[in-house]
Each structure stands twice: as C-alpha cells, then as structure tokens.
Amino acid sequence: MSQKAKQQQYIAIDLGAESGRVMLGTISDKLGLVEVHRFGNGPVEENGLRWDFDKMFGEIKAGIKKAIAQADGEVLSVGVDSWGVDFGLIGDDGQLIEKPFHYRDGRTDGMMEKAFELMDKRQIYENSGIQFMQLNTIFQLLSLKLNRSDVLAKAKKAIMTADLVSYFLCGRAYTEYCLGSTSQLMDMRRGRWSNDIFEKLFLPMEIMPELVESGTVVGQLTDEICQELDCGPINVVAVGSHDTACAVAAAPAGGGNWAYLSSGTWSLMGIEIEKAIISDESFEYSFTNEGGVENTIRFLKNIMGLWLLQECRRQWQRDGVELSYGQITEMAKQARPFAGFIDCDYGEFFSPGDMPAKINKYLVQTGGKPTDDKGQMARMIFESLAIKYRREMKVIEEISGKKINILHIVGGGSRNKLLNQFAANAIGKKVVAGPVEATASGNILMQAIAAGQIKSLIEGRRLIAESFEVNEYSPKDTELWAEQNIES
C-alpha cells in the first residue's frame, strides 16, 4: 500500500450494554486498533429503565477528541455501532423528547399479545422474518402507541441508538439497514419498511427515517461539533450500525461452510446468506433474518448469552463478594461437570435482578438441585449455553441445508477458553475463537471500504485473519457431551 494509505486512520465508536469504547484504527499491511477511551454505559432508573444519552454522547465526544489528538495521520471518518432495537424520539426542535428507554424496561410486558390481536403472529413473521422477542422495536413502539400516545404524537423521527449518535454528530436522520432490521418493522425480503406491519398495528411509518446501506458516507461532523472538538471536517459513515453485523463482518472466515457465534451479553449464532429464509420451519424454531453488511442476511438465533453470568456477578458484588470473570471461570473449571442444566432463554432470566436466586428457583422447579457454589453455578451456565449452541446448530443445518464445518466465535466471549472448549465439545465441530475486538474491527473495515482503501469484504476478512491471533478448539469427550440434554 502507498504511504498515504498507511497514514489514513478511522475512529470506531462501539457501544455496548455495559460499556462504550472509542477506538482508533489504522490499516496498512495489517489492521491496528488502539482503545483511546472507555466509559460505563449501564441503564438509569428514571420513570422506567432508560439510557442516559446525554452522558453517553458527552463521553463519545470526549473519546473522539482523544482519538484525533492521538492520531498520527489523517482521520478519514467516524463510524458508530451499538446494540439493536432501542431508539430515541426526536421532536420539532431536532432534540430528544426524552431519555431513550432500555430494551429490558417492563413497558413491553404483554405487548406481543396485544400485537397478535391486531395482526396474526405468523403474518408478522411472514412480513418481517424476525424472531419474536418482547424487546423488539415493534413492541416498544406499540407500547408507546397504546400507553403514551401523547409522547408519540410529538415525535418527528424515531432513530435507533447508533444512528442516533451519528445524527447528533452529522445532523442527518437515517436508519442503517443492519440496525433497522432488528426492529421487526422491516420487510426483509425487500429491504424496506413493512407497510403491512405499520398499517395493521396503527403505527406511524412517517417517523421512521430513510434506510441506507452499510458503508454509506452519510455526512460530516457538523460545524458545531468540529468547533467543540477543535477539528476539521471528518466524514461520518453508516457502518454496519448493529454491533453484531460489525462482528460478523470481521469473522476471519473463508468459504461457505462456516457459522458464527457473536458471544457476549447475548449469544447470536447463525450463518451468512444472500436471501432471507422465511418458512414454516424458521418460524417454528424462532429464527431471525437480520441484515448483514453488503446487503447480506444474518440468519441466526438470539440466545440469552453471558447476561446470565453478568447478572450473577452483579448479585455476588451486592452480597460483598468481588470476583473477576477470570476468577469465576477458573472456579467453574474446577466444579463438577454436568451437575445441572438450565434453559438459558427461560423468561424469568430476561429481567435484571437476583440471578442466582432465579437460577436456583428454576433448578428446583425442573427437578434439579440448587447450589450456593459460585463456581458450580457458573459451570452450569457455560454447559447449558454449549448444549443450547448444539441444538441451534442442528436447526441451522436442517433449515439451510448446509453442513457446517467450523464455528467462528467472535466478540468478548471469545476470551472464555472454557466456554469455547465446551462449545466445541457439544457441537462436535472445530471452533475458531477470535478476534476479541471483532465489532470494532468490523466497524473499521466498513469505513475503509467506504473510503476505497479496502476493495471488498472478502479482502477485509483476509486482512483480519492476518492481523489478529485466534485460538482453535477441537472437540473432546463428544460421546459424553452427546448424552447431556436439556428441554428448551
């Protein structure tokens, strides 16, 4: 590459449900990443569970300023990714009407049933191809319509989280295709908002912004932002605005017989395909068709994931026991195998609270033995997740007709060697774990594609494979694992 290309740098804003980061990325013969700013990003209780967007945006601006100061070349662009489904309402003055709600807020309780009174469940799936979860944007909007119609009436735009950050950076309201697909409001066969869903549920489609493709340059930092950050004009790119879309983009994969697992608060397991699979089988098994970068489809299943362990750790902290994730994993490694199993997607596990008590209650209800051994509980979570992965992998192969050879695990959970090995054991396939920073890497890749520095996603994945170490896991004790099962 030319010397000029070596000096081009990109800023990735990666927002997670627990923390946010601002990363500075450089692409030369490899992709280099430097974390320049990290901040806590938990929900706040304010007439419901919400996101403190003003605080979050302040931290983001501070991070961008640090990144610009640390850059040793031209900062070409900024891209933002976040979790899906949540949104902010913009009023006549161009500002937020209120703090955005958190997807775990209880206002969506019972909303799925209300929606099915207006539109048949199978018909909603036929139109959207999205797995039913009460946190989906469709049910958040319906809750607004039914319970707070005065607030909804004030809204000129409903902008999803990552794109909301971009809106306040560049002034353009839009919805990036990947992030928009998580809403259950899009027709995933055609890649546009679903007229049928909005009409049948009496929701205002006019507040939904224009849809744009991943890798689109949507604008530049506003004059006000440039003045505040003491910088010149910088492009803002709509990367795969959904964090999982970025993570999958960065899977160091080749060929077609691979699946991915984006492992973190949620576990998202699936395959990358060209067209949505919307069938009786995908409906029965609750599979989802989310948008991927370069107009692909991520055919996947949402699984509760490491949220279960995160909530256990928070409860143990409240009880005065401080343990790192590394310590917990080591305790789990020493615990007794197959002492009990849980359905990771059991409804009571969705909400914040005393997760160890919830898990013990579940164990008692299902004929298992409760435990106060923290390592044992962690091991139960890991083993139950691995068996869940096995079940969903079989369904993926059955519905798609593909025989999967390799599972690529990306994201923060790819650090967990014990869970990765359990996954390989349970599914009976090779696991390749890494990169850990898949989301930020995918964010940077899409910016580089927008800039023309990288020609394609294939080239980008090859670059990822050359830039980061990965760990490989071969299946062990497969017969023993095959004997373990759980109803789910």
Asked whether the predicted pLDDT for residue 5 surpasses 60, the reply is no
Sequence length of the chain is 488
Nearest to 161 by CA among 236, 96, 207: 96
Q: Return the CATH fold of 251-434+455-488.
A: Nucleotidyltransferase; domain 5 (3.30.420)
Catalytic residue among 14, 81, 86, 243: 243
Per-residue model confidence (pLDDT) at position 17 = 86
Element (H, E) at 217: strand 216-220
Strands 267-273 and 258-263: antiparallel
Element (H, E) at 374: helix 374-400
Per-residue model confidence (pLDDT) at position 139 = 98
The first and second tokens of residue 390, run together, are: 């096995």
In contact, 419 and 386? CB cutoff 8 Å: yes
What is the average pLDDT across 319-334?
98
Would you give the end-to-end CA distance of the chain in angstroms? 51
The first and second tokens of residue 203, run together, are: 């929701």
Residue ranges per structural domain of the chain: 3-238, 251-434+455-488
For the chain, give the mean pLDDT: 95
485 versus 365: the higher-pLDDT residue is 365
CA torsion angle 282 285 290 292 (round to 10):
-80
Per-residue model confidence (pLDDT) at position 102 = 97
Which of 1-15, 43-57, 352-366, 461-475 comes out lowest in average pLDDT?
1-15
Task: Tell me how far apart the alpha carbons of residues 470 and 143 are, in angstroms, rounded to a whole number.
Answer: 43
The first and second tokens of residue 100, run together, are: 């955005």
Confidence of residue 227 (pLDDT cuts 50, 70, 90): very high
CATH of domain 3-238: 3.30.420.40
Task: Tell me how far apart the alpha carbons of residues 439 and 245 are, in angstroms, rounded to a whole number.
Answer: 8
pLDDT tens for residues 21-73? 999 999 988 999 999 999 999 899 999 999 999 999 999 999 999 999 999 88
* 243 part of the active site: yes
In contact, 471 and 418? CB cutoff 8 Å: no
User: Fold match between 3-238 and 251-434+455-488?
Assistant: yes
Confidence of residue 3 (pLDDT cuts 50, 70, 90): very low
Per-residue model confidence (pLDDT) at position 181 = 97
Share of the chain above pLDDT 90, in %: 94
Which of 4-18, 116-130, 226-240, 289-303 comes out lowest in average pLDDT?
4-18
Omega of the bond prior to 233 within 30 degrees of 0, cis?
no
Omega of the bond prior to 435 within 30 degrees of 0, cis?
yes
Per-residue model confidence (pLDDT) at position 256 = 74
At residue 110's C-alpha, the angle toward residues 175 and 81, to 5°, is: 25
Asked whether the predicted pLDDT for residue 254 surpasses 90, the reply is no
Task: Write out the DSSP string of 43-102.
Answer: -EESSSEE--HHHHHHHHHHHHHHHHHH-SS-EEEEEEEB-SS-EEEE-TTSSBSSPPBP
Confidence of residue 487 (pLDDT cuts 50, 70, 90): low
Task: Tell me how far apart the alpha carbons of residues 231 and 222 are, in angstroms, rounded to a whole number.
Answer: 11
Per-residue model confidence (pLDDT) at position 357 = 98
Asked whether the predicted pLDDT for residue 13 surpasses 60, the reply is yes
pLDDT tens for residues 175-215? 999 999 999 999 999 999 999 999 999 999 999 999 999 99
Indicate the pTM of the whole model.
0.91
Amino acid at 474: S
